[in-house]
Amino acid sequence: MAASMTHLATASMASASTVPSGFSVYDNAFYKVLGSAPKLEVIHENQSYPFAHEASVYIPSSETLFMSSNSFTDPVTGEKTIKITKASVSENPVTAEIINTTVPMPNGGVNHGAGILWTGQGTMNSTGGLFQMSVQPPYKAELVVGGFYGRQFNSLNDVVVNSDGSYWFTDPIYGWRQGLRPQPKLPNQVYRYDPATRNVRVIADGFGRPNGITFSPDEKTVYITDTAETNGDGSTDKMLAATIYALDVIKVNGEPFLTNRRVFAMPGDGIPDGVKVDMDGNVYAGCGDGVNVWSAGGVLLGKILIEDGTSNFSFGKNGTMFILNENKLWRAQLNKKVHGNLF
């Protein structure tokens, strides 16, 4: 792929002469992320449907990757659909297959227990919500929570699991805008669900389109992306948010609350969709030109450049990263010490 690089300095881990095409360096600290031999390659491609869109959940025990597609027209039914694809990323060449599941219009997902906790957007006739799915055939999925005290969620987008066992998830109105869901009955909000008590709370509001969500390694900060710039019906508005916000997690009367909301970062190209962190606290987001990487202080360190951008990605073993690019699945080799905080 064609890609330009910006190199502002060199460091012992790598240098301008050793960083290949496909990576842009904006700060010396990015050389530590890249390691001595960074690499970027397409490992699977399928032009028949956009299989590599969201979720990107890596299962280390089986070295498999689960992804949700972008919506496309099913050639058999003629209706819009979203499919989950399972890829065996340790094989050469990588193999992939569509799996059958009852998660309605799946989007984001996260490792949970022995399976995956999915956000299901729902359909015109079935509620969305959080679904726990087995990663073994027949991939049985069970609804965990499907609404807010009598009101259906809009179209859940992304979810992360806190160490206290609670599930934190975003619920924008994209499904309605895309003609997949009925008229919204709730604002664009972020929720916390406690599976032990079955209590579901609004934990944050005031977003145009809350999208990606993740915690810092110490869970004192939650990062939430607002992708309001992309309306959901194909239109965009550059005057609306395309921003990662950071919020502090505090305890009040024994329960978590969010405070000190602040702008963490805004990418120069496109919206920050999926967001994840590594164990050093660096923040990664899928953007219009690839994966953008910031320090915990909000400084842009560098980019993994992907033509046409990426909505989501996941960390694998030994510094690998799997990057979703609609009809292509990419693998980046970073410093072998780089490790995400989700498995």
Residue 68 resides in a domain: yes
186 HSE (CA, 13 A, CB side): 30
Domain of residue 212, residue span? 56-275
- CATH number, domain with residue 178: 2.120.10.30
Residue 13 resides in a domain: no
Structure confidence at residue 139 (pLDDT): 98
How far is the C-alpha of 46 from the C-alpha of 137, rounded, in Å? 23
| Neighbour-count burial for 146-183, b at 16+ CB within 10 Å, e otherwise | bebeeebbbbbbbbbbeeeebbbbbbbbbbbbbebbee
Q: What is the residue type of 202?
A: V
Residue 291 resides in a domain: no
Structure confidence at residue 15 (pLDDT): 63
60 prior amide bond cis, ω within 30: no
Residue 157 resides in a domain: yes
Largest pairwise CA distance in the chain: 59
- Rounded (to 5) percent helix, strand, coil in the chain: 5, 45, 50
**Number of domain units in the chain:** 1
Structure confidence at residue 11 (pLDDT): 37
Instruction: Please give the DSSP secondary-structure letter assigned to residue 27.
Output: S
Residue 328 resides in a domain: no
Structure confidence at residue 73 (pLDDT): 95
Structure confidence at residue 111 (pLDDT): 97
Residue 49 resides in a domain: no
Residue 190 resides in a domain: yes
Q: Which two tokens stand for residue 292?
A: 């953008």
pLDDT in tens, the chain (343 residues): 333 333 333 334 666 667 889 999 999 999 999 999 999 999 999 999 999 999 999 999 999 999 999 999 999 999 999 999 999 999 999 999 999 999 999 999 999 999 999 999 999 999 999 999 999 999 999 999 999 999 999 999 999 999 999 999 999 999 999 999 999 999 999 999 999 999 999 999 999 999 999 999 999 999 999 999 999 999 999 999 999 999 999 999 999 999 999 999 999 999 999 999 999 999 999 999 999 999 999 999 999 999 999 999 999 999 999 999 999 999 999 999 999 988 7
